[in-house]
């Protein structure tokens, strides 16, 4: 029983004193300390602590003060109170965490790396492209693989990007040939096609703002977003180099 009370949040001495009081009923500190196996000053400190939890009350008998344990059902009330306090703290943390994370990363320019898994995870990655609202998104992709994973890509993500007036440049491979060109202007896009045999590629790399998103589109779906200005600049430089080479 002692260990169970400790698991509920009481210290060992608090648990000993509370169990002693449950057995004794109304009792003086001296009786409680003897029953609990602790010295009198320790017993008094634990009784005061238990009083604050609502687990102990006092009674007067003549000129004596007796202490009595409250119902164990009070423990449930204490746990409920702690749970509410924990939820409140979680909400408080959620409200300040973005600012704290920003301060942490700015302190030594550490990259922020977030991982995504499965189709749902890659959809969340695409949402991140739009949330940042960059002036332009650039990338290299295999549209054969993209359309296998997202067959409605041109009916969902692309119109939303256009709606937000975010321009795009893309280097892509496709077994369908250079099929994007005819809709480039309408879709706020510039595209350059590369034959799949000239660029074996089964992934998607997107650079947006200060971030780079990399998604594996074959086998188990995985993705990562790296937020770091210098890394994003380097990937953007590689993209620009490839863009100039492609006629």
CATH number at residue 50: 1.10.10.10
Within a 10 A sphere around the Cβ of 108, how many other Cβ atoms? 6
Helix axis angle, 40-52 to 12-24, nearest 10°: 90
pLDDT at 52: 86
pLDDT of 109 over the 80 cut = no
Residue 116 and residue 65 in one domain:
no
152 and 209 share a domain? yes
In a domain, 85, yes or no: no
Count the domains in the chain: 2
In a domain, residue 106? The reply is: no
User: What is the enclosing helix (H) or strand (E) of 218?
Assistant: none
Residues spanned by the domain of 23 = 2-72
Note the pLDDT of residue 132: 84
| Residue 29 placed within a domain | yes
The answer to whether residues 9 and 64 belong to one domain is: yes
As a whole number of angstroms, the distance between CA 15 and CA 5 comes to: 6
Paired tokens of 16: 């000993």
**pLDDT score of 107 more than 60:** no
Kindly state the average pLDDT of the residues 110-116: 88
Q: Any idea which residue has 């030594």 for tokens?
A: 108
List own/partner pairs for 12-17 with CB under 8 A and 24 or more apart. Answer: 13/38, 13/42, 13/45, 13/46, 14/46, 14/49, 14/50, 16/46, 17/43, 17/46, 17/47, 17/50
Q: Which residues pair with 225 in a beta bridge?
A: 114, 213
Contact 112, 210 (CB under 8 A): no
Q: What pLDDT score does 105 carry?
A: 62
Residues 185-237: tens digit of each pLDDT? 999 999 999 999 999 999 999 999 999 999 999 889 999 999 999 999 999 99
15, 132: one domain: no
Taking only the tens place, the pLDDT of each residue in 147-191 is 999 888 888 889 999 999 999 999 999 999 999 988 999 999 999
Q: What is the pLDDT of residues 23-57, one digit of tens each?
A: 988 989 999 999 989 999 999 899 998 888 888 98
Mean confidence (pLDDT) of the chain:
89
* CA 104 to chain CA mean position, Å: 16
pLDDT computed for residue 165 by the predictor? 93
3-state secondary structure of 177: coil
- pLDDT tens, residue by residue, 55-79: 898 888 888 889 888 888 888 877 8
Same structural domain, 47 and 122? no
Confidence (pLDDT) at 106: 59
């Amino acid at each position: 029983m002692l260990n169970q009370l400790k698991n509920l949040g009481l210290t060992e001495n608090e648990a000993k004193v509370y169990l002693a009081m449950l057995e004794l009923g109304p009792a003086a500190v001296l009786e409680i300390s003897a029953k609990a196996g602790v010295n009198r000053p320790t017993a008094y400190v634990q009784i005061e602590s238990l009083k604050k939890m609502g687990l102990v009350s006092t009674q007067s008998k003549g000129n004596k003060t007796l202490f009595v344990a409250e119902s164990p059902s009070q423990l449930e009330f204490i746990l409920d109170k702690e749970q509410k306090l924990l939820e409140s703290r979680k909400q408080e943390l959620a409200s300040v965490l973005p600012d704290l994370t920003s301060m942490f990363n700015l302190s030594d320019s550490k990259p922020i790396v977030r991982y995504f898994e499965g189709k749902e995870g890659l959809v969340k990655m695409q949402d991140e492209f739009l949330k940042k609202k960059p002036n332009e998104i650039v990338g290299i992709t295999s549209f054969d693989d993209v359309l296998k994973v997202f067959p409605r890509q041109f009916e969902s993500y692309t119109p939303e990007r256009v709606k937000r007036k975010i321009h795009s440049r893309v280097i892509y491979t496709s077994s369908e040939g250079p099929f994007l060109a005819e809709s480039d202007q309408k879709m706020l896009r510039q595209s350059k096609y590369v034959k799949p045999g000239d660029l074996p590629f089964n992934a998607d790399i997107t650079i947006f703002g200060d971030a780079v998103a990399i998604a594996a589109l074959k086998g188990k779906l995985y993705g990562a977003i790296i937020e770091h200005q210098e890394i994003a600049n380097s990937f953007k430089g590689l993209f620009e180099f490839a863009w100039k080479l492609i006629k």
